[in-house]
Amino acid sequence: MLSKLTLENFIAGKSNTKNYFKSIYFSTILMISISILSQLLFPDQFFFWNHTISCQGSVLQNPIGQIFWRSGIIIIALLKFPDVMFLSKKLESVSKRLSQISKACGLLASTGFVFVGIFPEEIKPMHGICAFVTFFGYFIMMNLNLVIIGLELKNKNSPNYHHLIKKRQKIRLLCILINIGFYFMIISSVFEIFSEFFPLFEWFYLFCLMLWFLMFPTFIESDKEIVVFEIKSGEIAQRIKSSVSQVSFLVLSSLILLSNYKKKISEFFVV
């Protein structure tokens, strides 16, 4: 009963802040991992300036890697539902109407994200529609949430005001990056201006999206409330050094193994 209640609270955005930070970090690591794996299993060399994000999940272009990519995308998309609910709960005290609209856009985008994983690139126009709903929905959500943060910055009596003042430059930078990434992607795809650079613009927007999910929760939570950042600076440095060395070793080992057994993995999946 307790575990069921805890899961319900997590999905509804009412769980401990620490759980959502773990969810966001896990989603980011998983996104990077499945991207590296699907690109390594790509039959030809994968280049960011030639291949779009969807190429990783293409049944025809990437028959083996697409299994890992699409499965991972569905997991990440499902985790975004509680993350969106959490952000909405934290912002509704500033502007309930804007937070509700933001939540609706975020949930719609997350739904589209799930279907991006279900429908590969070859299933047209469903894949394209779902991808657009995902990118556009998150774009509206991100900007609305930044508007709410701006409203809170104008209120000097807000309990989060002094915390936000410290983060003001980061908030501005994130706002600029998100809008540049989205508009360049739209201009190159819809209006076919610099269309040859569309894959790069799409990857850049995905990077901005991941960066937003990593950074934005730190804007709406004061330093005292974020358990992750309560550790002393010396301990942080030690933990980062240890984590980086472990992750680097695992990634390097995985790359060596995959490069050696890529042909055998291909033969295993091909019937």
Mean pLDDT of 120-145: 93
- pLDDT tens digit string along 227-247? 433 334 344 445 444 544 454
Reported as a pLDDT band with limits 50, 70 and 90, residue 44 is: confident
Q: What share of the chain in percent tops pLDDT 70?
A: 78
261 vs 232, which has greater pLDDT? Answer: 261
- pLDDT tens digit string along 9-19? 888 888 888 88
3-state secondary structure of 160: coil
| Separation of alpha carbons 136 and 166, rounded Å | 29
Q: What is the pTM of this model?
A: 0.78
| Separation of alpha carbons 40 and 105, rounded Å | 34
Whether the pLDDT of residue 254 is over 70: the answer is no
Pair 160, 99: CB distance under 8 Å: no
The three-state (H, E, C) secondary structure of 50-73, written as one string: CCCHHHHHCCCCCCCHHHHHHHHH
Q: Residue 193: its pLDDT value, please?
A: 82
Pair 91, 102: CB distance under 8 Å: yes
Q: Residue 143: its pLDDT value, please?
A: 92
